[in-house]
Structure 1
């Protein structure tokens, strides 16, 4: 009888051993496996996967630097396409290993796949030679290496020896990083105040600026006003003297009309020396004042049009009683 009790006791111990060490852990493992998906589905997809302070990134193309980025805060979202959201952004855009443009803004984002950039909020784009463009936002196409903004643009040109730089407004900015060229292609309105107190105004369909030199070109329905003169033509090119900041002259091209209170002058081109206040008409130049007409090989307005000089003059005068 005693032996039977011992045998039963031993069997019970063995059964308990199997239950604790084998069956119970197996049930626990199955329970954890079933509960795991529920824990994953409770994650908030709006929360960043990564967050970092003081970010510095460098992107290259074909062995050369494309852009270099600095950000105070960066938050990473993986998802279908990795995206980084940025705060207090500064981006340097390179051309042949030299900084051509610098863009700053309040917020930004990086597409981890395409390396395209978006920046918004008090966005300022600065060219290497001193042009400043302000826009609500910009988009950088990494493949084309272009900075674009279809919104309103305000430009401040660099100062020169004749006074403050051009102030310009328009829409639809395009910056071509490889060519160091900036274009505003809609509703262009610009002005400049000279040291002598005279104001210069210009409107056009399009304006182009170089990030390397100081040359600028306005095209499409160009109209300029300076002192009492009004100038109209298809295009105007601003030429600078050598590498200085001094405007050498402004040339209007493609058929030009200049008028003031009492006369009208036309020619193929007009060179405007605003510093000396001399306007030179070339290419079938003609001046009409009342019923009188003057033409020649070259016509020059001196002192802003108060005096007229004609080379090889041909005149048609209306007979008066």
Structure 2
């Protein structure tokens, strides 16, 4: 009976040693799994997405590209609420790329219209920049427009106005009212002239 008791103790010790080794191996290889944040769709939204990247093409040619940090989509209205919006409009011919950034936007898929707001800034490849607080885009006409104050600048001049229309493909700009402009002359330019 003494031998049975010794074998029993030996078995318990072996189990404890193996358990200790198992804990040691697991603790060395253990990496903490971080919880994944899952956004709950905004009120009235059916779907929430992160890191949106959408390009509209026709006949294999890109017309515009929309990127946003996140969006919530409502199936019933067909509207998407966007946050930290970045747009690229690909122009026809030599008009080049026009980029636009804004804090937020609403894309109405059914109407083909986008409204962006909050520190809206657009830049052309040729060095022109305009800024406003709210801007509309109509897909069918490829038209950017606002009735808000707008500021247009380049390295040489600055223009302020109320309201504007910009045909994206032709890069034809029309300022609507209260237009004021000034030339930006640098001191080194005065010496040359």
TM over 0.5: yes
Match of 1:180 in 2: 171
Alpha-carbon distance in structure 2 between the residues aligned to 1:109 and 1:87: 9
Alpha-carbon distance in structure 2 between the residues aligned to 1:180 and 1:89: 21
8 Å CA contact 1:100–1:177 kept in 2: the answer is no
Q: Residues 140-165 of structure 1, C-alpha deviation per residue, up to 9 Å, x if partnerless?
A: 010000100111011221x2xxxxx2
Matched, 1:54 2:45: no
Match of 1:167 in 2: 158
Alpha-carbon distance in structure 2 between the residues aligned to 1:123 and 1:45: 23
Structure 2 residue matching 1:175: 3-state secondary structure: strand
Match of 1:154 in 2: 151
Structure 2 residue matching 1:129: 3-state secondary structure: coil
Alpha-carbon distance in structure 2 between the residues aligned to 1:139 and 1:193: 29
The one of 67, 70, 83 equivalent to 1:70 is: 67
Bigger RCO of structures 1 and 2 (CA < 8 A, at least 6 apart): 2
Alpha-carbon distance in structure 1 between the residues aligned to 2:143 and 2:70: 25
Scaled by the length of structure 1, the TM-score of the pair is 0.43
Matched, 1:86 2:82: yes
Q: CA deviation at 1:195?
A: 3.3
Alignment of 1:253-264 (within 5 A): none
Match of 1:116 in 2: 113
Alpha-carbon distance in structure 1 between the residues aligned to 2:42 and 2:184: 54
Scaled by the length of structure 2, the TM-score of the pair is 0.70
Structure 2 residue matching 1:194: 3-state secondary structure: coil
Q: 1:82 to 1:100 in 2, by over 3 A?
A: same
Alpha-carbon distance in structure 2 between the residues aligned to 1:99 and 1:75: 31
Q: Residues 22-69 of structure 1, C-alpha deviation per residue, up to 9 Å, x if partnerless?
A: xxxxxxxxxxxxxxxxxxxxxx99331000111100112454222101
Q: 1:148 to 1:61 in 2, by over 3 A?
A: farther
The one of 120, 140, 145 equivalent to 2:142 is: 145
Q: CA deviation at 1:120?
A: 0.5
Alpha-carbon distance in structure 1 between the residues aligned to 2:59 and 2:162: 33
More helix, by proportion: 2
Alpha-carbon distance in structure 2 between the residues aligned to 1:142 and 1:129: 23
8 Å CA contact 1:49–1:78 kept in 2: the answer is yes
8 Å CA contact 1:100–1:180 kept in 2: the answer is no
8 Å CA contact 1:68–1:91 kept in 2: the answer is yes
Matched, 1:96 2:92: yes
Q: CA deviation at 1:198?
A: 9.0
Q: Residues 157-185 of structure 1, C-alpha deviation per residue, up to 9 Å, x if partnerless?
A: 1x2xxxxx212111111111111222212
CA RMSD of aligned residues (A): 2.5
Match of 1:133 in 2: 130
Deviating beyond 4 angstroms after TM superposition, the runs of 4 or more aligned structure 1 residues are 196-199
Q: CA deviation at 1:70?
A: 0.6
Larger radius of gyration: 1
Consecutive unaligned residues of structure 2, counting only runs of 5 or more, are: 1-40
